[in-house]
Chains A and B, each alone.
Chain A
Amino acid sequence: MTSVLKGNFQAAKSVEAKDKPEADDLDSRFEREAMKKLGGSIAYVAKKKIKWAEDENP
Chain B
Amino acid sequence: MAKLLFINPVVREEDVPRHVPYGIALLAAIAIDKGHLVQVYDANAWRLGEETLREVLKADAWQVIALGGITTAYGSIKETVRIARQECPDAVIMLGGGVLTSLPHEIMNWLPEVDVGCVGEGFITFPEMLAMVDAESRDWHRIAGTISRNAQGKPVLSPQRTLLEDLDTLPYPAWDLFPREEVYFKNSQMLYSPEGMLAQRRLDINVSYGCSMICRYCYHLGIAGDMRYETSESGEVSVSFDRPGAYTRTIRYHSPEYIVRMVRHMRDKYAIDYVLFLDENLMTMDQHSKRLWMKDICRLWHESGLAPIPSYDAAGIMNGWEGVHWSGTSHATLCTKEILKTMRAAGCSHLVYGYESFAPHVLKTVGKGSTPATNERSFFWTLEAGIRPVPNVIIGFPDEDFQSIRDNMAAFDRLGIQVRPHFATAYPGSEWFTLHRDSLEAQYGGNLESYILDLGDATKITGIICKKFNAVELIGLRELMCEGNYRLLDVFESAWKRVHQERPLV
**CB-contacts of B37-67 with A (<8 A):** 37-42, 46-49, 51-52, 55-56, 58-61
Establish whether residues A17 and B38, one from each chain, have CB atoms under 8 Å apart when the complex forms.
no
Across the interface, which residues of B come within 8 angstroms of A2, CB to CB? 179, 182
Q: Does residue B178 face the partner (Cβ distance < 8 Å to A)?
A: yes
User: How far, in whole Å, are A6 and B38 apart by their CA atoms in the complex?
Assistant: 8
Establish whether residues B177 and A6, one from each chain, have CB atoms under 8 Å apart when the complex forms.
yes
Partner of A5, one of B49, B51, B59, B176: B59
Establish whether residues B49 and A7, one from each chain, have CB atoms under 8 Å apart when the complex forms.
no
Q: Does residue A21 face the partner (Cβ distance < 8 Å to B)?
A: yes
Given contacts A12-B59, A15-B55, A35-B14, contact A7 B38 (CB under 8 A): yes
Across the interface, which residues of A come within 8 angstroms of B40, CB to CB? 5-7
How many chain B residues touch A (CB < 8 A): the figure is 25
Establish whether residues A17 and B32, one from each chain, have CB atoms under 8 Å apart when the complex forms.
no
Contact mask B16-48 → A, CB, 8 Å, 1/0?
Answer: 000000000000000010000111111000111
Q: Does residue A48 face the partner (Cβ distance < 8 Å to B)?
A: no
Across the interface, which residues of B come within 8 angstroms of A57, CB to CB? none
Across the interface, which residues of A come within 8 angstroms of B182, CB to CB? 2, 17
Q: Does residue A18 face the partner (Cβ distance < 8 Å to B)?
A: yes
Across the interface, which residues of A come within 8 angstroms of B52, CB to CB? 4, 15, 17-18, 20
Q: Does residue A37 face the partner (Cβ distance < 8 Å to B)?
A: no
Residue of B nearest to A5 (CB): B39
Establish whether residues A12 and B61, one from each chain, have CB atoms under 8 Å apart when the complex forms.
yes
Establish whether residues B39 and A7, one from each chain, have CB atoms under 8 Å apart when the complex forms.
yes
Across the interface, which residues of A come within 8 angstroms of B48, CB to CB? 4, 17-18, 20
Establish whether residues A6 and B39, one from each chain, have CB atoms under 8 Å apart when the complex forms.
yes
User: How far, in whole Å, are A13 and B39 apart by their CA atoms in the complex?
Assistant: 12
Establish whether residues A8 and B38, one from each chain, have CB atoms under 8 Å apart when the complex forms.
yes
Q: Does residue A9 face the partner (Cβ distance < 8 Å to B)?
A: yes
Smallest CB separation, B236 vs chain A (Å): 40
User: How far, in whole Å, are A2 and B61 apart by their CA atoms in the complex?
Assistant: 21
Given contacts A17-B48, A20-B47, contact A12 B56 (CB under 8 A): no
Contact mask A7-35 → B, CB, 8 Å, 1/0?
Answer: 11101111101101101000000000001
User: How far, in whole Å, are A14 and B39 apart by their CA atoms in the complex?
Assistant: 11
Smallest CB separation, A27 vs chain B (Å): 16
Interface residue ranges, B against A (CB under 8 Å): 14, 32, 37-42, 46-49, 51-52, 55-56, 58-61, 176-179, 182
* 11 residue pairs bridging A and B, Cβ less than 8 Å apart: A4-B41, A4-B46, A5-B41, A5-B56, A6-B40, A6-B177, A13-B58, A14-B59, A15-B59, A18-B48, A20-B52
